[in-house]
Amino acid sequence: MEWLGRANIEFTTSPKPLNLKEKDGKETNLLKICESAVPPCNLNPLLFNGHAQTMWTAAKAHGPQLHYKRRIFEADHAEFNGSFAVDFAVTDPSAKKEADPTLTPRTAYFSKAELEAMGSDDDRPMLVVLHGLSGGSHEIYLRHAIAPLIDGGKWEACVVISRGCANSKITTGLLYNARATWDIRQTIKWLRKTYPNRPLFGLGFSLGACILTNYLGEEGSATPLKAAVVVANPWALHISSKMLQSTVIGHHVYQRVLGNAMRALAMRHKDELEKYTNIDTANLLSLKYLWEFDRAYQCPTWGYPTEEAYYRDASSSDSLLAVRIPLLAINAVDDPIASCLSLPYAEASRNPYTVLCTTSLGGHLGWFEIGGGRWHGKPVCNFLNHMAFEVDLDSISNEVNGKRTSGNPEYGTNFDPMRRKMHVNLNQ
């Protein structure tokens, strides 16, 4: 039936999924919740494969009209200092008329009075979102996923902007990479302090999904987040990169488009890069492909010897093993950017806190339905609503059965999925 646009859906998780309890006392588990949250995947049959679904995103059809207010944070990380932006979804109708022409559409800065008034004792669930490569809160795929939550009137949300993206300014030579978890960590700490009664949830897309998964692995059970969803995570970056470079369309279309996006980002911040780094900006701005940008910028900036070393070190497939909150991961098997060869089936099957949901169709952040809707928003909203309003969040155990999940104590071995090649002070 795939040729009619009906995608096959499969779930991968531990043979013993995480046990949970509903607020009415009913016993359930993470797999059952995910299965009930994920509806049939009926996509536009004219967009019959991953390339068609992915390329259709360039059509830039109008999506839900979300509005944001932007707050600028000064990083509290000693090494990765500078500033970053967080866009907060506007729920007050009277504030939706404001927009700053220097920012992305429907976005304005908070006024001084609004900044001083931030904070509340309410218990509304709050969603922390990470966008994809060179994106922002304005991205259509992101708005399709969170608009139903915001418009429903029960949720608050904010989008952590990767440094330099979405018309944000940088005050050092640092942009971001797939291991850049420090800004979301600081944001979550600030939210926990400013809104102490709000349960916090996470949502990441593409590279943002990789960053969010890495953050969850680094924090383990210490994260204040109650549950999370990651969509179109590239998982093993070195595999996805090699797969892109191995095909004509991958190399000359996707790598070039992604490279152009990063080159435009570098162009926007050329003065800062020249002031604060030794990067050869003339060479950087002449590059065509994403892997070339990563070699020219990511390697010298962060200290990786090669882009392949960076890809291996920043991948999040091992991080999945260290996640200790309920996590739903959604990927399309025909995704030409986040290759199916990088999907962490084995890792998901070893961790009861995670469920990997794969659809046979959908492309990269596509999932276009007939009429222009985006399917991925449905499981995202269903899962988050169920976790926020129906599950007893206190029933989530920090460690399943209190047992370690990797290593062999008999022989004194211990596998640490978060042991990286490059040591970074996480500022936890």
Q: Establish whether 144 is a catalytic residue.
A: no
CA distances from 281 to 119, 180, 258, 263 (A): 41, 22, 18, 10
**Catalytic pick among 269, 364, 376, 386:** 364
The two structure tokens encoding residue 97:
């008329």
Which residue is it, tokens 């299965």? 35
**Cβ contacts of 187 within 8 Å, gap of 6 or more:** 73, 86, 128, 158, 160
**Cβ contacts of 46 within 8 Å, gap of 6 or more:** 52
Q: Establish whether 51 is a catalytic residue.
A: no
**Catalytic pick among 183, 294, 318, 335:** 335
| CB distance 177 to 80 below 8 Å | no
Which residue is it, tokens 């940008």? 293
CA distances from 183 to 1, 156, 169 (A): 44, 19, 15
Q: Establish whether 238 is a catalytic residue.
A: no
Burial class (CB in 10 A: 0-12, 13-18, 19+), 367: buried
| CB distance 310 to 299 below 8 Å | yes
What is the Cα 130 distance to its own chain's centre? 4
**Catalytic pick among 206, 315, 316, 342:** 206
Active site residues: 206, 335, 364
